[in-house]
Amino acid sequence: MGSAIRVTMERRPDYFIAARIQAQEPIAVVAEEQASGRLVGVFAAGRREVYADGSRRQLRYLSDLRIHPDYRGGSLLARGFRFLRDEVMEPGEFAQTLILEDNSEALRLLTSGRACLPAYHPIGDYIYDLIPTRARRHRHPLPPGDVRFSRARINDLGDMQTFFDREASRRTFYPTLDFATMARGDDYYRGADITSFWLARRGEEIVAMAGLWDQSAFKQTRICGYAPGLARWRPLLNGIARLAGTGRLPKAGERVKTLPAQALLVRGNLPSLAVALIGRLLTDAAAKGADYLSLGLAADDPLLPAHDAFKGRRVVGKHFLVTFGTTTPPGFEGPVHFECARL
């Protein structure tokens, strides 16, 4: 996340376990140095089913771009995009991707419009919040008194599916979800558990839901190091963080356990209900030994004010649709969504 903090996103013990939760049709493209056989580049370009204008469609997701330092600045990136255009993407197809605002080098290069690179069409900012599990809440209105909260059970699957389909379809690019398939342990939902969901009901009707997804068995975050100035001040900053109730800066080399929220949906987009659900997810994440709960929404999503009820670390991403040639992506209605559990 920028040069101040060096982070690696690890995929142990098997890269393809994580790839299968990013996409229902995972594709990984690698570049191999012919003389030595070592891998010098990789990116993912799988497809998943999402909602767009209330209907279901397949959408490709470009992610996990990595190039060995020895090959940066050469032709490898352009050759990789040519392969993507000629061998992976279909004529007229567009893909979804996200670039962190702090990653200024990648942002500058990929959106430069250089020859052999695709066009990156901006469709808004993405807000990714890391909430420490010991976060202090700000004052916020309580949810309506006629709403009750309960953990989801297997016999709730039908009601959960009905609620999810109605609310998720109102956002653009929200990945579809099948709770019955999740309950059967399909690879696309590996580690997800129906009982990790909290439901809010008014009478017998679900009015809000959110789940916690423990992916730590196959996705890990490691702090590799800090810029010299930040490293020098880290002990002091951690002392301030303890007093403020915000997240600490871990030691270099330390893994940080982060559990993402999924399917945070509220009928009528009432922030107080979202705050109540996030609070329950934080408690569950702490019980699982997590350092952070991660949340992600578009900058114009009406539920984003719920994030502000908690102190955390905010990262801004730039959301793009990627096309080749003269293809122009169509316009869509509703907030553009990016599910943080499938980044």
The band of 32, judged by pLDDT with boundaries at 50, 70 and 90, is very high
Decide: 252 and 226 in contact? Cβ < 8 Å: yes
Q: What pTM does this model have? A: 0.93
Which comes out higher in pLDDT, residue 242 or 103? 103
Instruction: Considering only residues 228 and 40, tell me which one the structure prediction assigns the higher pLDDT.
Output: 40
Mean pLDDT of the chain: 93
d(CA 122, CA 111): 9
pLDDT at 138 over 80: no
DSSP H helical segments within 123-224, as ranges?
Answer: 157-168, 179-183
Segment 185-207 mean pLDDT: 97
Residue 135 has pLDDT above 60, yes or no: yes
Confidence grade of residue 6 (pLDDT, cut at 50, 70, 90): confident
- Separation between Cα atoms, residue 94 and residue 321, nearest integer Å: 6
Dist. CA 19–CA 43, nearest whole Å? 11
So what's the pLDDT on residue 139?
58
Higher pLDDT, 59 or 6: 59
Reported as a single tens digit per residue, the pLDDT across 211-231 is 999 999 999 999 999 988 899
Percent of the chain with pLDDT over 90: 80
Domains of the chain: 132-216+251-316 (3.40.630.30)
Euclidean distance between CA atoms 281 and 341, whole angstroms: 14
- Residue 160 confidence (pLDDT) above 50: yes
Contact by Cβ (8 Å): 133, 290: yes
Structure tokens, 24: 């229902």
How far is residue 261's CA from residue 63's CA, in Å, rounded to a whole number? 20
Q: How many whole angstroms separate alpha carbon 340 and alpha carbon 161?
A: 20
